[in-house]
């Protein structure tokens, strides 16, 4: 399994880097939208859609929203959707406190989870597009992702080495508080270093970036936990099997969906 994960990552990382750094924003956002349609397809299963037709309707609806968003793509609209994503992830913390909320497989809960999926995915596309269009935008997008990747690595090694108290045993038994602390340290350090490399020299802004890195990591953990909760409700181990050793798109993007809107909103707040 570890060998599969390394091989998959070795193939994906150069592709992701090329997508972020080389093309103009409209191409970048279009490819991301296509990927997110796949994520919406997987989310439909977690929401409780068991038929191909039902899942196809959800994916088609997501595609229509993404096309409309990319056609309009005004800074004001993108900013509003980004802030809506931030508000969603704050509210999501209350859902995580109630494990059985919307767990019953009925039509009402299915629609609720489909709506939650829209709040997970759509603001991320808006925030990523807004960030990519900013000054040195592709590099800021890369920094946001590296913060998440570094946090994942820090959580893995810290959690494995120190272990200790479980973070949310009913939702994700493998996660520990030690892992969270490792993630926060790694993500905060990368945010500080990345900001400096991107030309941020003001002491206050650098401190702000450090805080933003920590907050981004904390919200990324929430995103990871929320997808785990949805998988528990749906009684599945992975959201899909697209990536050997990694699961599906949602399994790779759960933290990113939470992190990107928060990072972009924080960057705007810091005036960067």
Q: Which residue has the tokens 């990871």?
A: 224
Least confident of 4-18, 188-202, 216-230: 4-18
Tell me the whole-structure pTM to 2 decimals: 0.93
Q: How many CB atoms lie within 10 A of CB 186?
A: 23
pLDDT bin (cut points 50, 70, 90) of residue 146 is very high
> How many domains are there within the chain?
1
pLDDT in tens, 46-95: 999 989 999 999 999 999 999 999 999 999 999 999 999 999 999 999 99
143 or 100, greater pLDDT: 143
Which domain covers residue 219, as residue numbers? 2-270
pLDDT in tens, 210-251: 999 999 999 999 999 999 999 999 988 877 666 555 678 888
Distance in angstroms (rounded) separating the CA atoms of residues 242 and 207? 39
Whether residue 3 is predicted with pLDDT greater than 70 in this model: the reply is no
According to the model, what pLDDT value does residue 172 have? 86
According to the model, what pLDDT value does residue 214 have? 96
């Amino acid at each position: 399994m570890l060998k599969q994960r390394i091989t998959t990552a070795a193939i994906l990382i150069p592709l992701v880097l090329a997508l972020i750094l080389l093309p103009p924003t409209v191409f970048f956002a279009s490819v991301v939208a296509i990927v997110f349609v796949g994520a919406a397809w997987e989310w439909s299963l977690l929401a409780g859609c068991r038929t191909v037709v039902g899942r196809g309707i959800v994916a088609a609806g997501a595609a229509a929203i993404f096309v409309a968003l990319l056609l309009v793509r005004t800074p004001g609209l993108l900013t509003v959707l980004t802030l809506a994503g931030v508000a969603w992830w704050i509210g999501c913390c209350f859902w995580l406190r109630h494990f059985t909320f919307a767990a019953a497989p009925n039509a009402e809960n299915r629609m609720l989870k489909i709506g939650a999926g829209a709040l997970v995915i759509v603001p991320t596309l808006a925030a990523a597009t807004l960030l990519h269009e900013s000054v040195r935008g592709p590099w800021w997008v890369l920094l946001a992702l590296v913060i998440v990747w570094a946090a994942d690595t820090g959580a893995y090694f810290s959690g494995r080495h120190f272990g200790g108290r479980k973070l949310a045993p009913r939702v994700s038994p493998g996660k520990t508080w030690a892992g969270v602390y490792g993630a926060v340290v790694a993500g905060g350090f990368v945010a500080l270093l990345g900001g400096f490399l991107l030309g941020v020299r003001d002491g206050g802004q650098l401190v702000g970036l450090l805080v933003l890195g920590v907050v981004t990591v904390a919200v990324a953990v929430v995103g990871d936990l929320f997808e785990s909760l949805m998988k528990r409700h749906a009684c599945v181990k992975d959201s899909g099997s697209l990536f050997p050793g990694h699961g599906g798109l949602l399994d790779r993007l759960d933290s990113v969906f939470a992190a990107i809107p928060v990072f972009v909103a924080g960057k705007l707040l810091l005036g960067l």
